[in-house]
A and B are shown apart, each in its own frame.
Chain A
Amino acid sequence: MSGIGEPDANEQSIARRLEEMGIATTPDEISELRSAYDALQAWLGIAEELGGDSSVHPDEPDESS
């Protein structure tokens, strides 16, 4: 856990990842990205839940049918 006034660990992680890609990002942009990060993670989780199974194939029988 970060201390008071210190950047949140996720903010640091976001800033580092964008910096590694050569993307300049201001502290307030990082803060706003952090505010949406949990929702983004939830979306990625949904994508994995529905599409993470490597058996997805055009000929696969649909389990919902």
Chain B
Amino acid sequence: MKAVAGLHYSSLVEIAGELRSRTLSPVELTRALLTRIERLNPELGAYYRVFADEALARAREAEAEIGRGEWRGPLHGIPIAFKDLFNLGPTTAGSPLLAANVAGKEAELVRRARVAGAVIMGKLATHEFALAAASLADQFPPARNPWDPERTPGGSSTGAGTALAAGMAFGAFGTDTGGSVRLPAAYCGIVGYKPTFGLLSRTGIIPLSPSLDHAGTVARTVADAAALAEAVAGHDPSDPGSNPRAAKVITAGLETGLRGLRVAVPRDLWDEASDPSVSEKVEAALDRLSGLGAEVSDVKLGVSIVQVMAVGYVITLAEAAAHHLPNLRHRTSPDYGREFGLVLRAGLLVPAHSYVHAQNARVRIARKAAHLLENHDVLAMPTVGALADPLPPGPRPLNRRISEKPVPQYTWLANLTGGPAVSVPCGFSGSGLPVGLQLVGRPLNDATVLRAAHAYESAAEWRDMHPPAWP
């Protein structure tokens, strides 16, 4: 058996190969990771809960099964974790309101991960109900960015970003309504994949905005992110958004490279709003894509990032407020955190006709993106046009969230279109903070986006860089 020391930054796919060939023990691997989590979590706050005994029990089962030649697939014996928005044991959504909540039936993706043989290590930190920014004053301590623990790892899948960047899991499942797996990926120097709407089941995930909510994966490599999704993908009749036409196989062709791939760069969406330290790295990544054989060309989307985000937020605020209205009417103690309670009240101030306008606008924006993707394979842009912020000392003021000049989160576009999107690391700012490149594709064309991201990642040097404070 191979020694497990120093494997915490290995890729899931590499580890899966070692487990399958029985050169690595799932029990030893799980035990080593539990030791690392025990050491790092008090400082980094990635996990709300760690299921140490259960994880070791599942690892023992996996070891016995693999030993009998009953390998189930790439997740078999692999330590992974779930955002605390998935129904699985104690499930808080990062909210004082649900601090004592224990889920009954487990989320469908949890069930499928168990069937795939995954070793579930615990529940990962989240922004409250996947929206309100975590602060230092919260009841649940915020996850911290391993590249600078005074800063946010990005959200709302905060713990997933922290855990993968610090080698505390080999993969994680999160949720993404406006960018919540891709933003932590960009801020933490890892990979976030939001599949096509309907590819991954949302049954048993606490909703934020059902018409925009997606499940997604967070990993250290594109191949890992794809493998996680592929292991649990497939139609779920109990999720009204689930798409029976969504392809289950998304990793095929991952290695086929970039030659001839048509990459469109919608300059009007991102050029002016983005922080220069981000734009500089994204420009270099575009040059690299071109050098690898992609045909990179500038295009116009015809909408600004403020328009895209306004439409996304109007839909999100209204749907979240509708979902939480019964709780708001019976204000209790414990209550929602301050920022989330205010966001919900703001959502109640969205008139019905404005919600309809926003849904119509979403169709129009999606049509503009679809038009560009008739003649191009992917759209390329920054994931977010800013670097990770310092963690706020207390609840952020509402006018930071609802602003005429929001932090430009280019992730919202793919939530409006429903198409696949991947954030992949593309460098570091002068201050040493990671920057993400986002690739967005046509709905149901996940394989192409993953192929492009994988080709860039393989040619770039970023995937082997890890936070120096957590060797």
Contacts and interface: CB of A to CB of B under 8 A. Distances in A.
Interface of A: 14, 17-18, 21-25, 29, 32-33, 35-40, 42-44, 46-53, 56, 58, 62, 64-65
A46 B331 contact: no
B314 interface: yes
B349 A35 contact: no
A62 B300 CA distance: 14
Interface of B: 300, 302-303, 306-307, 310-311, 313-314, 325, 328-329, 331, 341-342, 345-346, 348-351, 354, 356-365, 367-368, 371, 397-399, 401-404
Contacts of A18: 345, 348-349
B313 A23 contact: no
A62 B371 CA distance: 8
A51 B302 contact: no
Nearest to A52: B357
A51 to B, nearest CB: 3
Contact of B360 (A22, A24, A25, A51): A51
Contact of A23 (B348, B398, B403): B348
A42 B310 contact: yes
A42 B367 contact: no
Contacts of A49: 361
A51 B345 contact: no
Contacts of B351: 44
Residue among B300, B306, B360, B401 with max Cβ neighbours from chain A (10 Å): B360
Main secondary structure of the interface of B (DSSP, over half): helix
B358 A56 contact: no
Contacts of B349: 14, 17-18, 33, 37, 40
Nearest to A44: B354
A25 B358 CA distance: 26
Given A25-B345, A32-B398, A36-B398, A43 B310 contact: yes
A25 B303 CA distance: 36
7 contacts: A18-B349, A22-B329, A40-B349, A44-B350, A50-B307, A50-B360, A50-B365
A25 B351 CA distance: 19
Q: Which 10 A-B pairs have the closest CB atoms?
A: A51-B360, A51-B361, A50-B361, A43-B310, A36-B402, A47-B358, A51-B357, A46-B310, A47-B357, A36-B399
Contacts of B354: 44, 47-48
A24 B332 CA distance: 11
A38 B346 CA distance: 11
A51 B398 contact: no
Nearest to B368: A64
Given A33-B345, A35-B398, A43-B313, 8 more contacts: A17-B349, A32-B342, A35-B397, A40-B346, A50-B360, A50-B364, A51-B364, A56-B363
